Every structure is written in C-alpha cells, then in structure tokens.
Amino acid sequence: MGSIYDLVITVKDQQGSCALGHKVGDKFYIRKGASPSGLCMTAMAALIPAISVLMVGGSFPWEDDPDATCRTCQDRQNPVTFEVRRLRSS
C-alpha cells in the first residue's frame, strides 16, 4: 500500500462575510488522513476531491505545482479560496 501524505489547507482569499469566520492565512492540517478540526463543512465538501488526490500522491496536470491545488467553497456570495498542499517529509 502506498503512502498517505499529510496535508495543509490554507485560506488564500476570502470575500464577503464567511459564516465561520475563515480569514486569509488560516491553516488546517490533515494528518494521517484524519479530518481537520474547525474547517467549515461546506468548504470540506468542495475540498474532498483535491484532498483525496493529493493525500495518496496524485496531482492535477493543470497545476504548476504537483503538490498543491486551489479550490473555492460553495458559498457563491461569500467565497473563500483554499490551497490544499501535500506535505513531503524531508
């Protein structure tokens, strides 16, 4: 079985008024595949596809960085953009 990578989710942009108060610079960690505490469920729903790919070592061919991708939550009136980044051990 392949490796499960840890991830960090970072708020990169926030417009309007986020109901959970997410703001630029907030970070959420996924360690050993466990869901991050404090991350909005609406955002989580939008991020799950990216999380699933990066966690198992995959990447997105349209991204410049194979270890990262950005997604925006589903609140179209108050969008929050998140970067999902794979953490590689040194």
**Is 1 inside a domain boundary?**
no
2-56 pLDDT per residue, tens: 789 999 999 999 999 998 999 999 999 999 878 888 999 999 999 999 999 999 9
Token couple for 22: 């997410």
Helix H or strand E segment including 47: helix 41-55
Report the pLDDT value the prediction gives residue 59, as an integer from 0 to 100: 96
**Is 74 inside a domain boundary?**
yes
- pTM of the predicted model as reported, rounded to 2 decimal places: 0.91
Domain that holds residue 45: 6-87
Token couple for 44: 């989580």
Q: What is the largest CA-CA distance in the chain?
A: 43
Domain count, the chain: 1
Residue 90 banded pLDDT, cuts 50, 70, 90: very low
Residue 88 has pLDDT above 90, yes or no: no
- Give the integer Cα–Cα distance in Å for 39 and 14: 14
Strands (E), 4-90: 6-14, 27-30, 68-72, 80-87
